[in-house]
Structure 1
Amino acid sequence: MKIRHLIVGLACYCLTDSVLAQSISPYVSDALQFSQSQPFGTTRFQSMGGVNTALGADISSISGNPAGLGFYRKSDFSITPSLNFTNNKSTFIGRQLSDGTTFFNVPNFGIVFSGAKKDTDNSLWRGGSFGISYNRNANFRNVVTFQGNSNSANSIAVYFRGLADALDLPSSRLDVADDQIGFNVGYNQAMAQLAYKGYLIEGYDSDNDGNQDVGNYYITNLSRNATVDPQTNELIEDPFEVSQSETWTTTGGRSQWSFAWGGNWADKLYMGVSLGISSIRYESTKGYTEVVNESTLNFLDQFTVTDNLKVNGTGFNATLGLNYRPVDWVRIGWSFSTPTLYRLNEVSFTSLSTRVKDPSTVGGNNPIGFRTVDNEFDYNLTTPLRTSVGIAFFFEKYGFISGDVEYMPYKGARIGGSDWSTDNSGLSERVTINNQIKQTYTNTFNYRVGGEFRYQIFRIRAGFAYQTDPYQQRIDDLNRSLLSYSGGVGIKLSNFYSDLGVMYSQSKGGYTPYQLPGAPSATTQYNTTSVMLTIGSSF
């Protein structure tokens, strides 16, 4: 059993009422998250919004457009450390909270060995260069917190009871050993076992046969004093009110080692190819807490559901690039990257901690903790291809302006692997996930514009990047596009250069912690500021 399907109510972005009913798989979110890239490379290129397709002679060309290596006349080395600040503002049930984190990393370093021919060589083949680089293409490190008070409409405990209602099993199938919770059972039963052991739901003897049955007679401990109407056999619940909060912490990133070669034909046509070895490391911890504010029940105080997930894996891709200079002041670039083929491993589990008002009612323990078994699962992910075209206009020795258009067919992402093909149910699930990817996402165009002004040894740069909302339909009335603004300064000497830059990015997202009609959703404004410094040397 793939355990993350147990926690779909906690883990996935809930889209629309119709989508909620279909239970969108969390692997659909993975397909997007592990495909999107942020502007990457040296400070120089990031300060210009990430433009790179029509430019060259920069370490960023190794993984961007390898044809840019053909512009090198000297060998080169550079390293780019970065300091990053995230500040996220979430609104949930009318309350706004801010959270974020600060972290340091090295998003880019690399080396180029130039094989350019001397200027006295009159052959049309002008030589080529070989480069190796490391790039952090996406950062997953972030913290988001939301909290809302006075929700009397629903509770995640009601969500758990709804899962149990569909089982129609004796409660003995839920009261399992602690180390067997979630073992070799389906989604509804595993979460019902966790909720049952944690006193969020309990059985009710509906037919007076002395056995606690489940199904429509599950009672949440939020309304333990509830009764059953003898005429309609319907559950009559006491009113309750809860405070709800969640903190979602993620770490890791997607990075790539690239090995590239680029050549120069007659100082007119530049061509290149690179091989990329990409890796994903993603860790997520979601702690969802409910505190009982008002209830006739003097039993339950609060409880926390924690979802833990780790994903690691490696993939491979290749990039082809061309750059053409029809006249000295114009360059036209093109690059094409194949889909990245990943083999991923995930380990996940869900835990529940319940705190009661009177510990003597539960054997003197407070809080009471339970968790599902660890589940490890391997699968394949194929992220979409990407292709971009760019143009740059040069103004003699004073600088240039450049723009890129990138095509990203997110609908082409695919999930697969032998673990989804061992039986008909696994194959059906894989087909369902891939159909959901095609129905959820769209093919997009992303845009980057930037420029550089030169005065003697000094450089001034600015840029802008826009990543289009990848969803077919606007969800929760949110535009999920990503906007990035950047700028920087630098100096360039004959054998040394240094650049300082800043990039600010903002986007929006929505999140629903559990799936119930009328369940509250959190809206988050994501803000990230990165300060970068590149130090490099030609040799």
Structure 2
Amino acid sequence: MFLYETSFFCNLTFLTIKSSSSLIFFNNSSNHDMFKRDYKKPILLIAFIAFFNLISNAQNGDIPPAFGYYKDATRFSQQNIVGSARIRALGGAGVSLGGDISHGILNPAGLGFMRKSEYQLSMGLGFTGTTSSGDGVQGSGEQTRFFLPQLGAVWASSKSSSNGGKWRGGAFSISFNRIADYNSDVYYTENGSNPTSLLNYFEEAAYGTYKSNMDLASQDYARGYTLLSLGEMAYALDLIKPVYSDDDNSYNYYYNSDRDKYGFPITVNGTDTSYVKQRTQMVKTRGGQYETTLAYGGNFDDKFYFGGKIGIQNINYTKTSEYVEIRDQELTYLGLAEEFETTGWGVNLSAGVIWRPIDALRIGATYTSPTWYGLNDYYTSNLTRTYDNYAWDDAAYQNQHFNSANFPPEEGPDYVYNPEGKDLYNPNASESATYNGKKSATHDRIRTKYNMTTPWKASGGISTFFGKKGFLTVDVEYVGNSAINVSDGTTYYLEGTYSEFSQPLNFDGDNYILNEELRNTVNIRAGGEYRMSKRLMLRVGYAYYQDAQKEEYNLGVDKSKQFYTGGLGYRNNKFYADFTVIYSKWKGIESPYQLDDNISLDNSSTVLIYPIIDVDYNRTELQLSIGKRF
């Protein structure tokens, strides 16, 4: 699938490791060669990341590469409509409403309306569906999940107006709230129409790595040691080979300024990657984002309500991907399985007010600070390939594909990742071998610890009441995505061994992308309640959450979310029960890998040649909230 883009977005990132001469082994045997391994080559994290031409398009020309954590910051800054079944039935609106335990997180001033203490429990069942589409792409997935949207308690201490004072008391609440859900399954097949392969990705992963380093990594892996990059894995499985190197690849030339380039053992007509008959991918995401809220709301003269809260947030997110290329010719099977996990804690503050000038009208406003997070990311992968009697002749391959004498310079091998534009031909290449059977390699688990700041939010709302018949309420929320930031990162390798080492990260590239790609957004929530009888209420609502990504960077896919809600409520003096149905839909995209080497049409647009899959998401949630006053 070919997509046109009027920017430098490409979605490839890499993590450059500068630690040198690392001694790495896992048993008591000695190996002096391990001192020669230098982890200067990137460890690639497949996570839907980065920008094409980032540095050349930056004004100062000095922006470091992005590591992909800007995508974490974007993902964990987007939330769903939250609250009890009653509030969610109203489209999540309630900034000016008051009188519900959900106001601890929506607007703590609303707790000031509560005259009785209560506790509440909400239960939910979610059904998430996905439909994948694109050039030669089809597939669908379904996922069902039980969840706890909210639980908590309110302790109210109200005062009567008969004592002559204007202070009416207030209420304190503790509540647990699910604010985002990440549960979905995406599955698709593609008929091989895309001209690229995972081999292209490995080529870029290996670019700039010394051949001597690769050889040592392969030898060490054969003896039971670990691999720390996708480039090393592909090389150890004979999926990529050097196509440019020094005449002498011995250790004596290890620190030569020239670096190796890598190509593919199998090509088609010298221009495209080997035959891909079909590619499939299953992407499973699990987990959610939660906030425990401590809030207080006070009441002054039944006219002015104010409150504040402390929110303690938790993230638990896991993404697993299984990508397979079914191929013909000598490389019959190529598969990459990955697991990516994020966990951590954060804290935020909020303050709000509600003004009730007359009984029929309420006006509210609230401000929520950014959430300051400390997070840990974990990544691991496994690569498997199957060869069927593939014969490799390095000299023949070099001469056929990289000897400039065999083709005009303007028709050179530009399909090989070669941003420095150097001559790729190595006349002294001499390796030959035959490969057969199935072979796998594993990427050692790595951990990255970093800090993240999510957006601040300012909300305003208005509610109008129609006596005891019902009400309408509307919220407008402004989200300051400009505050999103990642900082203070360190990646840890070989944890739990005496060879453990770490690398600090410079997030300037990620923060540049956040500033360049994202915009501040406006979310709208609206709902109404109609009292059908003394104890039975009918509710409906709608919400629209704007896509935070600027249009010029979203690949033509608007990721805004829409929520359609409705429900019923029952109340008596001491007990209440609310049931709600929430239907939401949005769009997204998936890519099994991203390539930096794309086809440039001109200075302002790029053709993204790697697979890009459009995904339509929908989710139906059933929520029941029950509460008791005391």
TM above 0.5, yes or no, is yes
| Percent of matched pairs sharing the same residue | 31
Question: Separation in 2 of the partners of 1:238 and 1:514?
Answer: 15
Write the mapping of 1:336-355 to structure 2, written as runs, cut at 5 A: 336-355=367-386
Q: What displacement does 1:99 show? A: 0.2
1:454 equivalent in alignment to 2:531: yes
Alignment-derived partner of residue 7 in structure 1: 44
From the superposition, tell whether residues 218 and 481 of structure 1 become closer, same or farther in structure 2 (CA, over 3 Å). Answer: same
DSSP-derived class of the 1:193 partner: helix
Q: What is the distance in 1 between the residues matched to 2:391 and 2:244? A: 24
Q: Shift of the alpha carbon at 1:207?
A: 7.8
Q: CA deviation at 1:63?
A: 1.2
CA contact (8 A) 2:209 2:260 kept: no
Aligned to 1:464: 542
Q: Report what 2:412 is aligned to.
A: none
Q: Which moved more, 1:470-479 or 1:320-329?
A: 470-479
Contact 1:2–1:375 (Cα < 8 Å) also in 2: no
Structure 1 residue 17, shift from structure 2 partner: 7.7
> Partner of 1:369 in structure 2?
440
The equivalent residue for 1:231 is none
- The CA RMSD measured in Å over matched residues stands at 3.0
- SS for the counterpart of 1:25 is coil
In structure 2, C-alpha distance between the alignment counterparts of 1:206 and 1:252, rounded to whole Å: 46
Letter paired with 1:529: T
Q: Which residue of structure 1 lines up, in the alignment, with residue 400 of structure 2? A: none
Structure-1 separation of matches of 2:56 and 2:68: 12
Q: Which residue of structure 2 aligns with residue 437 of structure 1?
A: 514
- Identify which range, 440-449 or 145-154, moves more after superposition: 145-154
| 1:196 positional shift | 1.0
Q: Which amino acid aligns with 1:220?
A: F
Q: Which residue of 2 aligns with 1:202?
A: 241
SS of match in other structure, 2:106:
coil
Q: Is the 8 A contact 1:57 1:69 kept in 2?
A: yes
2:485 aligned with 1:414, yes or no? Answer: yes
Does 2:90 align with 1:48? yes
Q: Distance in 1 between matches of 2:109 and 2:578?
A: 23
1:133 aligns with 2:175: yes
Contact 1:181 1:193 in 2 (8 A): no
Aligned partner of 1:499: which letter? D
Secondary structure of 1:386's counterpart equals strand
The 1-side partners of 2:362 and 2:264 are apart by 67
1: CA distance, partners of 2:273 / 2:211: 25
Residue equivalent to 2:164: 122
Change (3 A) 1:17 1:238: closer
Counterpart of 1:257 in structure 2 is: 292
Amino acid at match of 1:110: G
TM-score (normalizing by structure 1)? 0.88
Change (3 A) 1:218 1:416: closer
Deviation at 1:204, TM superposition (A): 6.0
* Secondary structure at the counterpart of residue 199 of structure 1: coil
Q: How many residues align?
A: 514
Q: Which amino acid aligns with 1:526?
A: Y
Whichever residue aligns with residue 351 of structure 2, its letter is L
Please name the residue that 2:119 is paired with.
77
Task: Report the Cα offset of residue 338 of structure 1.
Answer: 1.0
Among 379, 386, 389, the alignment partner of 2:457 is 386
Within a 5 Å distance, the mapping from 1:57-456 to structure 2 comes to 57-118=99-160, 120-151=162-193, 153-167=195-209, 169-170=211-212, 171-178=214-221, 180-183=225-228, 190-203=229-242, 218-223=262-267, 240-293=275-328, 295=329, 298=330, 300-357=331-388, 367-417=438-488, 419=490, 426=504, 429-455=506-532, 456=534
Aligned letter for 2:231?
Answer: A
Cα distance, 1:121–1:369 mapped onto 2, change above 3 Å: farther
Secondary structure, counterpart of 1:151 in structure 2: coil
TM-score by length of 2: 0.76
Once the 2 structures are TM-superposed, how far is the Cα of residue 510 of structure 1 from its aligned partner? 1.7
1:126 deviation in Å?
0.5
Q: 1:19 to 1:291 in 2, by over 3 A?
A: farther
Which moved further from structure 2: 368-377 or 204-213?
Answer: 204-213
The residue type paired with residue 31 of structure 1 is A
The answer to whether the 8 A contact 2:589-2:613 is kept is yes
CA–CA separation in structure 2 for the residues paired with 1:238 and 1:55: 60
* 1:195 to 1:59, Cα distance in 2 relative to 1, 3 A: same
- CA pair 538-174 structure 1, distance change in 2 beyond 3 A: same
What amino acid is aligned across from residue 87 of structure 1 in structure 2?
G
- CA distance in structure 2 between the aligned counterparts of 1:124 and 1:217, rounded to whole angstroms: 78
SS of corresponding position for 1:469: coil
How far apart, in 2, do the equivalents of 1:222 and 1:346 lie? 35
Q: Which amino acid aligns with 1:195?
A: A
**SS in structure 2 at match of 1:51:** coil
**What residue in structure 2 maps to residue 476 of structure 1?**
555
**8 Å contact 2:530–2:537 — kept in the other structure?**
yes
What is the letter of the counterpart of residue 51 of structure 1? A
CA shift, 1:14, in A, is 6.4
Letter in 2 for 1:441: L
Instruction: Report the Cα distance in structure 2 between the residues aligned to 1:360 and 1:154, rounded to whole angstroms.
Output: 22
Query: Could you tell me whether the CA contact under 8 Å between 1:138 and 1:255 is conserved in 2?
Result: yes
- Against the structure 1 CA distance between its residues 19 and 530, is the aligned structure 2 distance closer, same or farther, given a 3 Å change threshold? farther
Change (3 A) 1:249 1:205: same
Q: Deviations over 1:79-113 (max 9, x none)?
A: 11000000000114322211020000111011101
Structure 2: state its 5+ residue gaps.
1-14, 18-40, 58-63, 393-432, 492-502, 599-608
Provide the rounded CA distance (Å) in 2 between the counterparts of 1:245 and 1:19.
33
Which residue of structure 2 aligns with residue 232 of structure 1? none
| Secondary structure of 1:167 counterpart | coil
Match of 2:98, SS state, is coil
Kept after mapping to 1: 8 A contact 2:196/2:272: no
What CA distance in whole angstroms lies between the structure 1 residues aligned with 2:277 and 2:551? 32
SS at match of 2:593: coil
Q: Is the 8 A contact 1:12 1:25 kept in 2?
A: no
